[in-house]
Structure 1
Amino acid sequence: MNRKWLTAIILLILLTANCLPITKDQTASAETGDMQISASSVNLRTGPGLSYSVSGSLSKGDKVTVTGQEGDWYKVQAGEMTGWVASWLTSAASGKSESKKAVSSVDHLNVRSQPELSASVLAQMSAGDQAKIISETGDWVEVEFRDTRGFVSKQYITITETSAKNPTPAATDVSSFEIAVSALNVRQKADLSSDVIAKVHQGEVFTVVSLKGNWVQIHLADGETGWVYAFYGHLSDKSAKTAATTATETVTVLTDGTNLRAEPSTASGVVSRANAGDHLEVIEQRGDWYKVSLPDGRNGFIATWVVTAGEATTLQKTLKKKEANRKAGTLSGVTIVLDPGHGGHDGGTVGARGTNEKDLTLKTAESLSHYLRSAGADVVMTRQSDVYVDLRKRVANGHLVAADAFISIHYDGVVDNSVHGFTTYYMHSYQQELGEFVNAGLAGKLSLKGRGVRHGNYLVLRENQQPAVLVELGYLSNYNEERIVATSQFRDQAALGLYTGIVNYFDAQLEQ
């Protein structure tokens, strides 16, 4: 009898052991690492995407262990909870970014005093510039760039490991400074209250003597030196002579039938026309116009917003791009241009409560860009900061990258403050389908009144050769609606609605 009981106990132990999970093997195949939540509140989802249900929530500063990754989503363990979080809502745990650097992927990337778009600009990074990473905060990275400490948007940089062979460039690597504004004061000292000793002009390039915070000391033509504010130009590691001769040697025309005029004005007579891909030699720049040499020996003027500087290698590549093997629910291989309306001296509508349209459009576009990139899209922004961009140049940006969709984001305003709701506009028949999908996506996410899909004669639609829509996401002239649309919660919902409509539009293309 005792032998039977012993045999039964042994069998029970063996069966129990077979049922236990083999934790060691499972974790060995997972990509592990410690992260922390960087946003104020983050949803924990049942799968790697916004379409999956929410299974819990995490707060800023919460530590999580990454056990896997799929695209821009992390599978994490947080205490007893397991789920998926968006990677852009996390940051490295303390000490993990000490050996990393940020490499700017765009020109004129703003380094700001605080991690927000409304913060003042301390410096600007050119494409390829490197900066030491101090910390990561949500969508922002704190960096040290040429003795200036500030924040850059994470979506415009590449984060890589620092190595001894490729260190972060120091101030001594800077050789020249090109003036980017029409006229700039040169001061005796690195101080706005210091005496003005000279004026320099757009396109001029000077040898750099030294850097001091946000100021650059330059050599003037008469052998003297003076100080200029770094924000109003571009630093380079090229010599002043090299930078001056290569700054804008040629420009490449972006669209067929582009006008070349006798004077730098759209009111001037047309002396010739150029086609996409034509290269023109630049003689000088006057404001927003290039004076160029024509093939027949004459000179003419061409607007800066219808050309790109240098060889059009990007244009040639994008026009030849191949369609990716895309799956439903993703945007791999899709190029989308986001156009935050207004900017710079063009503030757009000012709300009854003082809200500026140009600020809301940029913040909404930033939110939407994160959703689109998480789905695999290549996103191009017509502006990344509070700057003015000509409407034709916005359209030209879409043509340059052969955009699959162009989304212009606005907030409305009229004299009648009782008018409210969101509206989606299109111009050409090939834009209507995108408009209908985008409008439906917004209707599913916003509580505002839907005003439907309408025909709108806007330049960014009229001149656009791509599927393009212009969305008005509510009326700032309506006191109650302004209060709603000015919140981050609304902008996130609007971005999610636009994202849903865009994904559904491209999914429908797969079914055709």
Structure 2
Amino acid sequence: MNKRLTTAGISLVLLFFAFIPAVHADSGKTYEVGANNLNVRSSPSHSAQVIGQLDNGDRVVVFQEAFGWVQTYFGGQEAWVASPFLYPADAQTSNRSAAPVSSASLEEITVTATEVRIRTGPGTNHEIIDHTSTGDTYSLVQTANNWNKIVLDDGSTGWIAGGMTDYNSGNNTTETNMDSSSSNDSQPHNTNAANGSLSGYNIVLDPGHGGKDPGAVGIGGVFEKDIIMNTVDNVVQKLRAAGATVILTRDSDYFLTLEERVRLNNANNTHAFISLHYNANPIMGINGVSTHFYAGGKDRRLATAIQSALGQNISLYSRSIIQSDYHVLRENSDPSVLVELGFITNPGDLATTRTNAYQNNVADGIVQGLVNYFNE
């Protein structure tokens, strides 16, 4: 009897371990935690169940990313952690504290503007990690170039523009006064756009389809989801070179629902959302590029600016702007467009769209279209 119980117990233990996912460092990137008491949740949401906590210096292996969260494993089960508090394990740590900062005996500052960005470093070229608003108070760690390093609620640190608080070191505030999303939204004619720069603007790029959803299938069985990523890489590089902060809904071949794409956009202080696609049609002669919008006003103006700039940079036929009821446009809270960059069922379009020259020209057109839109 005891022998049977022992055998059964061993079997249960073996069965338990068989269902624990195997996690290896070479199956994903390793990241280090940059905060104490970082919640580990059951799904990628601040309202999801907390299943554990991580501390400063802990390491996790990341397997996928989704709208500001990364998926890892914790205690043998799938878990999610907020990505702004993670750093590549081999990265330099100059932009963050080696350990949480105590706020004891530190001077306090108060935010005086609405929807102010908190960044990883003292300048608009640094990553946005959070937002704050009028009346919020923080402990001041140091100042640099009219930027204030503050202690956040979780003990980590971030940087906020001096012109957005009641503490100002007296330096020139022209650049830092633009680090409030409300100032960008209410003043689209800022000097950055006028000078051809997209500094201070947050652009969400949405590569269509991905993972189990191949999108359109073109000549020779080519998938839309594969072609679009090469194009997006060029657009990202040129947008960042122009000073824009770029947020990708996906950066590799995985599936996202339409709802997740919109949710990611709405979670950021986005100035423009651009969904990039390639088209298909049973009639091989159908060709050309079009830009879609849902409503008039900002959406239509953004579509017009981008379609016009694309027409000046690429040789494919322009199908003009089209009002469309796409989910990622209809449910979006920010100016948004969907661009069809050619028909992969048309031999001429397909051959052209797969060239580096075309993809570079598309990137130039989108950058110029955004500059023109923000400078209207």
- Spell out, residue by residue over 1:443-476, the C-alpha distance to the aligned partner (whole angstroms, 9 max, x if none): 1111111101001111110110100000000001
Taking structure 1 as reference, are residues 473 and 307 closer, same or farther at Cα in structure 2, changes over 3 Å only? closer
> Is the Cα–Cα contact under 8 Å of residues 299 and 335 in structure 2 kept in the other structure?
yes
Which has the larger share of helix?
A: 2
Question: What residue in structure 1 maps to residue 181 of structure 2?
Answer: 321
Q: Residues 61-460 of structure 1: matches in 2 within 5 Å?
A: 198-200=18-20, 215=24, 230-231=26-27, 235=30, 246-248=39-41, 280-282=47-49, 314=129, 316-317=131-132, 321=181, 323=183, 326-327=191-192, 328=194, 329-429=196-296, 430-460=298-328
CA pair 490-247 structure 1, distance change in 2 beyond 3 A: same
Quick check: 1:251–1:282 contact (8 Å CA) kept in 2?
no
Within 2, Cα distance between the matches of 1:403 and 1:449? 30
Counterparts of 1:235 and 1:311, CA distance in 2: 12
Q: Check conservation: 1:351, 1:477, Cα contact below 8 A.
A: yes
8 A contact 1:412–1:474 mirrored in 2: yes
CA gap of 1:200–1:349, structure 2 versus 1, over 3 A, is: same
Instruction: Tell me how far apart the structure 2 counterparts of residues 237 and 334 of structure 1 sit (CA, whole Å).
Output: 28
Over the aligned positions, Cα root-mean-square deviation in angstroms equals 3.4
Q: Structure 1: which amino acid aligns with 2:131?
A: Q
Greater displacement, 455-464 / 477-486: 477-486
Relative contact order, higher structure (CA 8 A, sep 6+): 2
SS in 2 for 1:350: coil
Q: Give the unaligned 5+ runs of structure 1.
A: 1-187, 189-196, 209-214, 217-229, 253-278, 285-303
User: Quick check: 1:305–1:396 contact (8 Å CA) kept in 2?
Assistant: no
- Whether the 8 Å contact between 1:326 and 1:333 is mirrored in structure 2 is no
Corresponding residue to 2:337 among 469, 472, 481:
469
CA contact (8 A) 2:66 2:250 kept: no
In structure 2, the residue corresponding to 1:316 is in which secondary structure? strand
Partner in structure 2 of residue 494 of structure 1: 362
Q: CA deviation at 1:334?
A: 0.7
Amino acid in structure 1 at the alignment position of 2:351: R
C-alpha separation between the residues in 1 aligned to 2:306 and 2:206? 15
Q: Secondary structure at the match of 2:221?
A: coil
Shift of the 389–326 alpha-carbon distance from structure 1 to 2, 3 Å rule, reads farther
Letter in 1 for 2:232: A
- What CA distance in whole angstroms lies between the structure 1 residues aligned with 2:321 and 2:274? 14
CA contact (8 A) 1:315 1:400 kept: no
Pairs within 5 Å for 1:15-30: none
Does structure 2 conserve the Cα–Cα contact (< 8 Å) formed by 1:353 and 1:479? Answer: no
Query: How far apart in 1 are the matches of 2:216 and 2:208?
Result: 10
- In 2, are the aligned partners of 1:420 and 1:478 still within 8 Å (CA)? yes
Cα pair 2:262 2:332 within 8 Å, conserved:
yes
Paired amino acid for 1:503: V
Q: Cα distance 1:427–1:199, how it changes in 2: closer, same or farther (>3 A)?
A: same
1:321: how far off? 3.3
Which one-letter code corresponds to 1:248 in the other structure?
A: R
Task: Identify if the C-alpha distance between structure 1 residues 378 and 323 changes in structure 2 by more than 3 Å, giving closer, same or farther.
Answer: farther
SS of 1:466's equivalent in the other structure is coil
CA contact (8 A) 1:251 1:311 kept: no
Instruction: Look at both structures and tell me which one has the larger radius of gyration over its CA atoms.
Output: 1
Shift of residue 246, structure 1, vs aligned partner: 3.1
Alpha-carbon spacing, 1:353–1:250, altered in 2? closer, same or farther (3 Å) = closer
> Are 1:474 and 1:485, in contact at CA under 8 Å, matched by a contact in 2?
yes
Matched-pair contact (CA < 8 Å) for 1:330–1:375: yes
Aligned residues of 1:326 and 1:332 also touching (Cα < 8 A):
no
- Give 1:326 shift: 3.3
Amino acid at match of 1:414: N
Alpha-carbon distance change, 198 to 399 in structure 1, aligned in 2, over 3 angstroms: same
Give the aligned residue type for 1:420.
N
**Residues 237/491 of structure 1: CA separation in 2 closer, same or farther (3 Å cut):** closer
Change beyond 3 A, Cα 1:342–1:250: closer
C-alpha distance in structure 2 between counterparts of 1:356 and 1:376, whole Å: 31
In 2: Cα distance, 1:452 partner to 1:481 partner: 16
**Which residue identity is paired with 2:49?**
V
Contact 1:351 1:479 in 2 (8 A): no
Query: CA contact under 8 A between 1:323 and 1:333: conserved in structure 2?
Result: no
- 1:146-202 deviations in whole A, cap 9, x for unaligned? xxxxxxxxxxxxxxxxxxxxxxxxxxxxxxxxxxxxxxxxxx9xxxxxxxx72225x
User: TM-score normalised to the size of structure 1?
Assistant: 0.42
AA at the equivalent of 1:247: V
Compared with structure 1, are the counterparts of its residues 432 and 250 closer, same or farther at alpha carbon in structure 2 (3 Å cutoff)?
same
Checking the alignment, whether the CA contact within 8 Å between 2:66 and 2:249 is kept in structure 1 is no
Change (3 A) 1:317 1:326: farther
Identical aligned residues as a percent: 32
**3-state SS of 2:303 partner:** helix
1:152 maps to what in 2? none
Verify the 8 A CA contact 2:262 2:331 in the aligned structure 1.
Answer: yes
Does the CA-based 8 Å contact 2:68-2:82 persist in structure 1? no
Amino acid at match of 2:359: R
Q: Secondary structure at the match of 2:191?
A: coil
Q: What is the alpha-carbon distance in structure 1 between the residues aligned to residue 242 and residue 331 of structure 2? A: 28
State how many pairs are aligned: 240
Task: Flag the structure with higher strand content.
Answer: 1
Distance in 2 (CA, whole Å) between partners of 1:340 and 1:235 is 25
